[in-house]
Structure 1
Amino acid sequence: MLRCPVPSLLVVLTAILTVCPSGSAASVEPPVRTPVTAGDLLRMRTIREVVIDPEARFAIVSIESFDSKGDSDAGPEERRRPGDHEIRRHLHRVDLQDRNPSLIPLTFGDRRDGSPRISPDGSRLAFIRQAVSGGEDDEKPQVWVLPLNGGGEARPITRFEHGVSGAEWSPDGRHLLVETRWNLSDLIEAEGPPVWDAGRPGRLASEHAVEPDPDGTVEEVRAWLDANTDDRTPKLVNRLGYLGERAVEETWRPRQLMLVDREGEEEPIRLGKGVVDRRSGVFTVDGRSVVLVTTGGEQHPDLTLDSRLEIIDLETPDVARPLFDEDGWRVSDPQSGPDGSLIAFVAQRTDEPAYRGRQIGLVPASGGEPIWATSGEWTSVSSYRWGHEPATVLFTARRHGGVPFFTASPATLQPVESNRLREGLPAQVHGFDVGRDTTIWIESSAGAPSTLRVLDETGERLVFDPNPWIATREIARPTEDWITRPDGSQVQSWLLPPNGLLPGETAPLILAIHGGPMSMWGPAEPTMWLEWQLAAAWGYGVVYANPRGSSGYGERFQRGNHQNWGAGPAGDCLAALDAATERAWVDPDRLVVTGGSYGGYLTAWIIAHDHRFKAAVAQRGVYDLATFFGEGNAYQLVEWAFGGYPHDPRFAAMLDRESPVRHAARIETPLLVLHGEDDRRTGVSQSGMLFRALKVQGRPVEYVLYPGAGHDLSRSGDPVTRMDRLVRILEFFTRFAPPDETRLPSASPEPGGEVGLEKGI
């Protein structure tokens, strides 16, 4: 059983008593804080999801950890090879009526359990499970149900061919609404052919009434060819969105909503008609209807960003009635209001998808015009829930480096922000739920990358910190700055000093650049927390900014990089660097730069135009916009950000001008290029082009490819491969801009991969 640490003082005292169990708190020396290490990645525990019982008696959390395979007694060298660790997610129960609650593990083993949903009466837990090793390797994620009262084992209630991606309880707790994917051929067999073109020039989609034969008639040859493509030998591509994150997905598999009984014994019922994509279904509060999002109909869903909000009466499950269906909008995440009269949803205009904010609309369940509770101009909604007051919604949004709460209703002209600061720095909310005057949320801060907090009638309190070992580490804290640019825009940045810097000492500085380009960083950014702290432990400072094009500062600022990915954002980042170099401890002769994805793009752009950097690391970037349009699954960014395509003479010259590889002749800075071999988001040949462009010129460049890694390597890749990336970047910097030798790591403690939640947290 896990005892939850509460105030930070108790965390420190607990750490002391753990090291010296025989001593008393009054006589124990303060703990010696040690630097963060790369091996600490294996100690990290991250709270991924939280849901609360409607009566706010308890909550369920999904916690991610890195667990070693095989022999748990293996030495550190054996535990630090790629593939030696697995990413697992397990579910835990938290009693919210206990002021010092314990976490009760509910699931175990080589699995990733997520998307928890508590039944309305609190007696059952539905969740989505996927095995990560062993004999179940090939199984798709399915819905499992676990009794919460009186014990019992979890058991699967779905067995869909392509797995599931969502499940929601009916108000009476007897059914679940499950989202799964269908084979297009099966849907056409049930519904008939779609009205849109199948994408086979000169061919009609049809069933073959002949035997396949490569030497037969034309019809028999076609049957033989179609049989081969059915077996994916070869893969026939006739859709725009044929690239997934790591593989070719040549066949569109529409999402469908299925009504499943809680025991999994009855035949599932598909809701709606037609060859369309249906998703994000939820029950109305009376349980008589389902609200959902639909895409497609008149054209292939790949060809439109628009979607519509529909409602289906379960008495007539084939009939869908539109609730919000306006051209130029895409919708998501419907939620039925507490009294059932209103349906909330998130909507975003599709005319400028790279810049438009997500806003909350409220529409009568009986039909009618929507009421907009928020505007996308200043806040773009991340997630939301119906609030505790009538017709009020609680939502989160990126804002000036943080992700705070906002409250909105049709009666308010402007959403009310709830200031979320920890130690004077913006925190970030990464998921939350509400129930009976209680709000519970997952939070990251500059001092803690993942915590669980609650607000109820007694006030706000910390419920659980899965990483108490951080109290024994040296943690650097950043300072904030705002820079006014020549065009009058304001750019926010932060400067993180290295640990243990003494008066009069200087240190090298890393300019770190985020991706997106519409992402946003702040002191509480959980995906960068360990990376920045590790840099500080090695003796490097870090400066990072949110240049024009970043989210969190309104639509106008986000639109500021339109047709200007290079010079404008680069100037913003360099202005933050210039401000940082005014600090006495920053050595202007030891500057380095790095970034990933769009940050990799901007890294390459900067070193082609500014030669002050001693070294650079460009990670999984886009360096040639024309080939990115062909090989990246995020190809739409070319049109969205620049207005057109590489084959259009009106845009070809601009895309060339904005491509860093076209400026490679000017790059002199020693460069390390990193990319995952299976990255389909930007495309791995992007890095190959940049590497070769420099190599043929005899420039100092090194290229590292990570086998089996996708674009998300730094966030969700193999744990030891992620360690390799962290250390490889810093090692490269030490070649050209080393910190003082006394700050370089000497001996690292053993990684904490074996320190599971069951042991001492």
Structure 2
Amino acid sequence: MASPTPFDSLTDYFALPRVEALALSPDGQTAVLTVAVLKKDGTGYERALWAVPADGSGTPRRLTRSAKGEAGAAFTANGDILFVSARPDAEGDADDESGQLWLLPAAGGEARAVTRLAGGVDGIAATAAGSARLVLAASLLPSSETIEADAALRAKRKEKKVSAILHDTYPVRYWDHDLGPAQPHLFALDIDGLADSIAAVVVEESMDAAASADAATDDAAPAADPNPYPATLPRPRDLTPKPGRSLDHAEAALTPDGSVLIVSLERREQRGGRRVLVSIDTATGARTDLFDEVDVDFEMPAVSHDGTRIAYLRTVKSTPSGPTDYEVWVAGIDGAAPRRIAAEWDRWASSLAFDSDDESLIATADDDGRGPVFRLPLGSGHEGSAAPVQLTRDDFTYTHVAVDRSGGGVVALRSSWVVPPHPVRIDRDGAVTPLATPAPAPTAPGTITEVETKAEDGARVRGWLLLPEGASADAPAPLLLWIHGGPLNSWNAWSWRWAPLLAVARGYAVLLPDPALSTGYGLEFIARGWNSWGAKPYTDLLAITDAVEARDDIDESRTAAMGGSFGGYMANWVAGHTDRFRAIVTHASLWALDQFAGTTDSSEYWQRIFTPEAMLEHSPHRFVADIRTPLLVVHGDKDYRVPLGEGLRLWSELAEHHADAEGRMPHRFLYFPDENHWVLKPQHAVVWYETVFAFLAEHVRGEEPSRPELLG
């Protein structure tokens, strides 16, 4: 009998600690991990920072502890740790719950607040490797000229309980949140000006008293701001006044001396925009456009360790005729002598950083169902560059890559479908050493194996197959086909939300295929499904399902399909085109492509990559009358990428075509009023899995219908 694992119990699974991010100290000796643990009441996660040696020795050491938690860790040049937290500030307002920037000194002592902005800090945009300057992201209301004016206006809105937002550009929301009324800015901050003395406090109190006295004795004098920014804190300098929505998704990198900020921001174009690369002088705010081309995006900037060069992605916008490549380019820090490198590398970089010697780039990319680390040599002049070198060759995907300048190696997080994210060190020869972690990998049930087949056009289609323990010819396992979202994506890394091991622990085999449109197989493989989502992506899925069902340890008579987002779209398409599955789960799914394209949070993109004819031809809603399989429809009201209207229309049309005289259907609709695209609250995720597994048990295993207790 199999030994129990945390995946046997939803309670145990959601209580597993999670490593979410990694930062590396300037000397390369310490990695700081952001670790999330379940709250005692099971309704959320608390985050704390932990330090682990970066050489594989030692044990984890907890650095922070607060009820509000900490995240977004980064290091200053001298080794102090920066993070964002809503923890109480002893010198601030007691009822202020905005997240602020905090500093934990490398020399020891308690963390202290570095900012006191009324709207809080959105995140750390960039730090300088050789100076005390950093750039943070924070938002101001559109009419606010100063941070004091912003504080006063926010207080007035709060007092009057006004939540209305006036827009003058598109879009108005993103994924799971409304845009505005505040606009993101980038602020330079010099933390060597951080005063922490009794004298500084006395100065601030004296300034407040003088301002109050002036206001009381001189009616003709302009009114002093009753709440000036604290003199004990370094004052943020706005580098991006009047930004509009250009910095909603800004990516930034600082030169080592902190003097120049390289930013990828958006230049608006009607409903959309193009990403451009600009340089900002952090002392004066002077801005210089480096790269800006119509119908081209410039993204993911990185600055060399010597401060003389930049690396970035250049991508021509895709059209219905086909996808375009992610091109890796390098140039001088002023944009001079731009040139493409690794032109023959048929992969899409998901991160870029300069190697320790600045002679190569360290990149990550999806590749054949994994996410390896690559070294991209730069070469020189117009001679081009040498071929990319793949550093890691295991079955893992790597993220949060940080280059160790002192030792020349790399520290990163890695994960697979059977091992959650954990920190590792990668030597220059590719050798990987796991680091200590406060979240050790749980025992995984069953086994994982790679499967593949030939599609009808001869293309290789591959995926991962997870098998429960005991699956054999004598006891074949029921099969769940899981279809990934994206669709420009790959089943190659751990997901806490879509966790196939939970199904494996309940006796199911889970197939995780990468059909046409998946990344990591080259541009041609993506192009096979471009502008035709219901064609080769669908036939690829059926082909690899056929191959897996031919195994003697799989019960082909008991199969189901599941998918979310694009996977939900494909689940709907599958439902209207075959009755081979006993049940289908469709989560956050596209139903009517023409309707979706106008109501999603980024309509311009979807209408740009489809022809109107293809959008109609490949819309699942046209085949509702052909559905013969029970569907579990799942949608959250706060899903702005695939708006709730998709789920509502699907449910309405299922009832129109398939309800009996009394309105009953074999289908079900699980609705979350306060969840988004992913269903993130742990208590709701538990209900999600309970509902899904009950639905599958009824239709795949023939068990009696059941209803999760908390659904009433």
Does TM, scored on the shorter chain, surpass 0.5?
Answer: yes
- Partner AA of 2:317 in structure 1: T
1:439 paired residue number: 410
Selected match of 2:581 from 613, 634, 650: 613
Question: What residue is the counterpart of 1:120 in the other structure?
Answer: 77
RMSD value, Cα: 3.2
User: 1:337 pairs with 277, 297, 304, which one?
Assistant: 304
What secondary structure sits across from 1:561 in the alignment? coil
The TM-score normalised by the length of structure 1 is 0.77
Query: What is the rounded CA distance, in whole Å, between the counterparts of 2:546 and 2:235 in structure 1?
Result: 65
In the alignment, is the contact (CA less than 8 A) between 2:185 and 2:243 conserved in 1?
no
Helix, strand or coil at the partner of 1:186: coil
Gaps of 5+ in 2: 149-156, 195-231, 380-384, 660-664, 707-712
Amino acid at match of 2:188: M
Aligned letter for 1:451? H
Pairwise mapping of residues 530-545 of structure 1 onto structure 2 (< 5 A)? 531-545=499-513
1:15-65 CA distances to partner (integer Å, 9 max, x unpaired)?
xxxxxxxxxxxxxxx977686322232232222211212221212111122
Is 2:489 the partner of 1:489? no
- 8 Å CA contact retained: 2:473, 2:552: no
Q: Which moved more, 1:625-634 or 1:367-376?
A: 367-376
TM-superposed deviation, 1:460: 3.1
**Pairing of 1:544-559 with structure 2 (within 5 A):** 544-559=512-527
What secondary structure does 1:184 align onto?
Answer: coil
Report what 1:206 is aligned to: none
Aligned length: 636
Aligned match of 1:26:
none
Aligned match for 1:731, one of 680, 694, 704: 694
Question: Following the alignment from structure 1 to structure 2, what is the Cα–Cα distance between the partners of residues 582 and 34?
Answer: 31
Is 2:392 the partner of 1:419? Answer: yes
Give deviations 1:94-147, integer Å, cap 9, x for gaps: 1336x531211111122242221111121x111122469xx9897333211111
Q: Which residue of 2 aligns with 1:184?
A: 142
Distance 2:270 2:83 in 1: 30
Tell me how far apart the structure 1 counterparts of residues 442 and 114 of structure 2 sit (CA, whole Å).
37
* Residues 531-680 of structure 1 mapped to structure 2, 5 A cutoff: 531-643=499-611, 651=612, 653-680=613-640
Q: Is the contact made by 1:273 and 1:319 (CA closer than 8 Å) also made in structure 2?
A: no
Query: 1:237: Cα distance to partner?
Result: 4.3
In structure 2, the CA distance between the partners of 1:384 and 1:583, relative to structure 1 (3 Å rule), is: same
1:272 is displaced (CA, Å) by 5.1
Residue among 422, 442, 446 paired with 1:476: 446
Match of 2:374?
Answer: 406
Aligned to 1:213: none
Contact 2:82 2:103 in 1 (8 A): yes
2:263 aligned residue = 292
CA distance in 1, matches of 2:163, 2:673: 24
2:51 aligned partner: 93
1:286 Cα offset (Å): 3.3
| Cα deviation, residue 624, structure 1 | 0.7
Contact residue 493 and residue 546 of structure 1 kept, 8 A: yes
Question: Which deviates further from its counterpart, 389-398 or 591-600?
Answer: 389-398
Q: Which amino acid aligns with 1:683?
A: P
| Alpha-carbon shift at residue 519 of structure 1 (Å) | 1.5
In terms of mean alpha carbon deviation, does 721-730 or 594-603 score higher? 721-730
Q: Which has the higher contact order (CA 8 A, sep 6+)?
A: 1
Once the two structures are TM-superposed, the CA of residue 252 in structure 1 deviates from its matched residue by 7.0
Q: Which amino acid counterpart does residue 38 of structure 2 have in structure 1?
A: F
Measure the CA separation in 2 of the matches of 1:617 and 1:719. Answer: 20
Answer whether contact 1:310 1:321 (CA < 8 A) is retained: yes
The answer to whether the 8 Å contact 2:564/2:589 transfers is: yes
Encode CA deviations 1:174-225: one digit per residue, 9 max, x unaligned. 33211222323336999xxxxxxxxxxxxxxxxxxxxxxxxxxxxxxxxxxx
Q: Residues 68 and 624 (structure 1 numbering): CA distance in 2 closer, same or farther, change over 3 Å? A: same
Q: Flag the 1:96–1:495 CA change in 2: closer, same or farther, 3 A.
A: closer
Q: Is 685-694 or 629-638 further displaced after alignment?
A: 629-638
Determine the structure 1 residue equivalent to 2:674. Answer: 708
Secondary structure of the structure 1 residue equivalent to 2:687? helix
What TM-score comes out, normalization by structure 2 length? 0.82
Matches within 5 A, 1:76-225: 84-96=42-54, 99-122=56-79, 124-130=80-86, 139-161=97-119, 163-186=121-144
Amino acid at match of 1:700: P
Q: Distance in 2 between matches of 1:153 and 1:234?
A: 36
Q: CA deviation at 1:172?
A: 4.7
C-alpha spacing 1:85/1:138, structure 2 compared with 1 (3 Å): farther
Give identity over the alignment, percent: 23
Aligned to 2:217: none
Report the Cα offset of residue 231 of structure 1. Answer: 7.8
Shift of 1:545: 1.0
Take 1:668 and 1:54, find their aligned partners in 2: how far apart are those partners? 60
Q: Does the 8 A contact of 2:7 with 2:13 survive in 1? A: no
Corresponding letter in the other structure for 1:288:
S
Partner of 1:249: 179
Alpha-carbon spacing, 1:658–1:250, altered in 2? closer, same or farther (3 Å): farther
- Higher mean Cα deviation, 573-582 or 56-65? 56-65
Q: 1:592 to 1:37 in 2, by over 3 A?
A: same
Q: Please say which of residues 245-254 and 386-395 is displaced more in the overlay.
A: 245-254
Q: Is the 8 A contact 1:483 1:576 kept in 2?
A: yes
Change (3 A) 1:489 1:159: same
Distance 1:256 1:656, change over 3 A: same
* Aligned residue runs from structure 1 range 293-312, under 5 A: 293-296=264-267, 300=268, 303-312=271-280
Q: Secondary structure at the match of 1:334?
A: strand
Tell whether 2:694 aligns with 1:694: no
1:677 deviation in Å? 2.1
Residue 287 of structure 2 corresponds to residue 320 of structure 1: yes
Deviation at 1:675, TM superposition (A): 0.9
Measure, in 1, the Cα distance between the counterparts of 2:180 and 2:585: 34
* Contact 2:84 2:121 (8 Å CA) reproduced: no
Structure 1 residue 693, shift from structure 2 partner: 1.0
Is the partner of 1:504 in helix, strand or coil? coil
Q: Please list the CA deviations of residues 451-509 of structure 1 after superposition, one character each: whole Å capped at 9, or x if unmatched.
A: 111134895321134444723xx522222122222223221122222222255112211
Quick one: distance in 2 between partners of 1:189 and 1:128? 18
Q: Give the CA deviation at 1:728.
A: 1.4
Moved more, 542-551 or 256-265: 256-265
Structure 1 residues 232, 549: closer, same or farther in 2, change over 3 A? farther
Whether contact under 8 Å (2:185, 2:238) holds in the other structure is: no
CA distance in structure 1 between the partners assigned to 2:5 and 2:238 by the alignment: 57
How far does the alpha carbon of each residue in 1:261-299 deviate from its partner, in whole angstroms, 9 at most, with x for none? Answer: 352624322225664635434332233333223433xxx
**What amino acid does structure 1 have at the position aligned with 2:451?**
D
